[in-house]
Amino acid sequence: MEEFTEEIIPERAPDQPEVQPALPPETPQEEESIADKVRIISPARLVLKRFFRSKLSIVGLCMFIFLLLFSFLGPVFVPWSETEVDYSGSHNVTIVSVEAKDENGETFTVYMVEEYTGTINSHASAFTYSNEGENSRLHLFGTDENGRDTFVRLMYGGRMSLLLSFLVVIIYTVIGVILGGLAGYFGKWVDMIIMRIVDILNCIPSLPILLIVGAILDGVGIDQSVRIYYMLGFLALLSWTGVARLVRGQILFLREQEYIVAAEALGMSPMRKIFHHLVPNVMPQLIVSMTLGLGSIILYEATLSFLGLGVPLSMASWGQMVQRATQNTEILQYYTMEWLPAGILIVLAVLSFNFIGDGLRDALDPKMKR
């Protein structure tokens, strides 16, 4: 027979506290489940989250995307080209009459159309067509004095203005980062030489120098279609001083930080310490400088066009379209669609660059907590 044992549990005194059973230690599976609940955000995602938190940043980004699509994708959907002229304004017909005789000796007159040419459809109103019939094409913003479609020239003008501004800003930013980084890190005679060059260039007025350069380029026979590239390239060589001062000042402060001392202890080369550790910490200030520079270069291109040193009339840019109106009071007063949209696009471009720059500055700044 099976034996049954009875476990005797001692009674607890009334004043004795109840003893809780010991909990088993947490297993590794439970620790992993807790870790899975913690979401780790990468630095890039954190920057994007901060950037899109600002409403002005989103507005600036939307305006910039609109300008890019309008300038680079828009011409695909427009039936006009940049230099195409509309000759459907009116027609000149030259008729020549010739008298002839038939087999019976009777005289008759033969009329021959010797010339049939169309005149330029200049200063056409907005939302008008080139001609009647199946081949009619719409002029959304009308035409200019040379019969070219204003709307499509706005698109090609955006290409020119945006490409020039990005090209110039990239060139002078790279020069400024290299020279400013060398001056701030090495100091002593390297800093002295580079800063004296900066002082000399800051004393040179850029606009009169560009006028002289434009006259020299015309004298040596440089084609007008590439003259603007030479002039803005020369402007980039004069504009790197602000970036160099900015980078130098930041590196003078950052090179005494603990992580640079640790990099020196690890035996890193100076170039690696400058461009891998110091320059990335100056990026928020550099981005603001670059975005402000993009707007200023567009305005510089408009100024050069106003002075007659911009792109030739066969090509289009926003500054050139505004310049033609300022030199012709009739266009300025009666044909606002030929210059007002270009001025609005310049304002939108400058505002979008400024909004994006402010948003990126706040998003990339590690000191920002919100």
CB 214 within 8 A of CB 234: no
Beta-carbon count within 10 A of 307 CB? 13
258 plus 292 within the same structural domain: yes
Lowest mean pLDDT among 16-25, 94-103, 106-115, 314-323: 16-25
114 plus 257 within the same structural domain: no
The pair of structure tokens assigned to 175 is 């020069």
Q: Which of 318, 314, 304 is nearest to 213 (CA)?
A: 304
Q: Which of 289, 278, 268, 200 is nearest to 237 (CA)?
A: 200
Q: If pLDDT is split at 50, 70 and 90, which confidence band does 83 have?
A: confident
Q: If pLDDT is split at 50, 70 and 90, which confidence band does 67 have?
A: very high
Averaged over 200-212, what is the pLDDT?
84
Average pLDDT of the residues of the chain: 77
Three-state DSSP class for residue 87: coil
CB 155 within 8 A of CB 163: no
Q: Model confidence over 294-329: pLDDT tens digits?
A: 878 887 887 787 777 777 777 788 888 887 887 778
Lowest mean pLDDT among 4-8, 117-121, 212-216, 287-291: 4-8
Is the model more confident about 340 or about 258? 340
Q: Is 60 exceeded by the pLDDT of residue 24?
A: no
Q: If pLDDT is split at 50, 70 and 90, which confidence band does 86 have?
A: confident
Residue 29 domain-assigned (yes or no): no
DSSP string, 160-181: HHHHHHHHHHHHHHHHHHHHHH
119 plus 183 within the same structural domain: no
Burial class (CB in 10 A: 0-12, 13-18, 19+), 96: exposed
Q: What pLDDT is recorded for position 250?
A: 81
Q: What pLDDT is recorded for position 66?
A: 93
Residue 284 domain-assigned (yes or no): yes
95 plus 178 within the same structural domain: no
Q: What pLDDT is recorded for position 25?
A: 55
Cross-strand partners of 95: 113
176 plus 120 within the same structural domain: no
Q: If pLDDT is split at 50, 70 and 90, which confidence band does 268 have?
A: confident
Residue 35 domain-assigned (yes or no): no
- Amino acid making up residue 273: K
Domain that holds residue 313: 62-76+149-364
Q: Is 80 exceeded by the pLDDT of residue 65?
A: yes
Residue 176 domain-assigned (yes or no): yes
Q: Is 90 exceeded by the pLDDT of residue 160?
A: no
Q: What pLDDT is recorded for position 337?
A: 87
128 plus 164 within the same structural domain: no
154 plus 135 within the same structural domain: no
The pair of structure tokens assigned to 327 is 């030199």
129 plus 71 within the same structural domain: no
Residue 42 domain-assigned (yes or no): no
264 plus 155 within the same structural domain: yes
Residue 370 domain-assigned (yes or no): no
259 plus 115 within the same structural domain: no
Averaged over 180-206, what is the pLDDT?
86
Q: What percent of the chain has pLDDT over 90?
A: 4
Is the model more confident about 200 or about 255? 200
Burial class (CB in 10 A: 0-12, 13-18, 19+), 357: buried
Residue 303 sits in a domain whose CATH number is 1.10.3720.10
Is the model more confident about 364 or about 214? 214
Q: Is 60 exceeded by the pLDDT of residue 30?
A: no
Q: Is 70 exceeded by the pLDDT of residue 366?
A: no
Q: Is 80 exceeded by the pLDDT of residue 56?
A: yes
240 plus 356 within the same structural domain: yes
204 plus 70 within the same structural domain: yes
Averaged over 354-363, what is the pLDDT?
82
Q: What pLDDT is recorded for position 113?
A: 61
**Domains in the chain, number:** 2
Q: If pLDDT is split at 50, 70 and 90, which confidence band does 370 have?
A: low
Three-state DSSP class for residue 279: helix
Burial class (CB in 10 A: 0-12, 13-18, 19+), 60: buried
Q: Is 60 exceeded by the pLDDT of residue 237?
A: yes
Beta-carbon count within 10 A of 165 CB? 23
Residue 329 domain-assigned (yes or no): yes
Q: What pLDDT is recorded for position 63?
A: 92
Residue 32 domain-assigned (yes or no): no
Q: Give the whole-angstrom CA distance, residue 284 versus residue 84.
A: 44
Q: Give the whole-angstrom CA distance, residue 27 versus residue 23.
A: 12
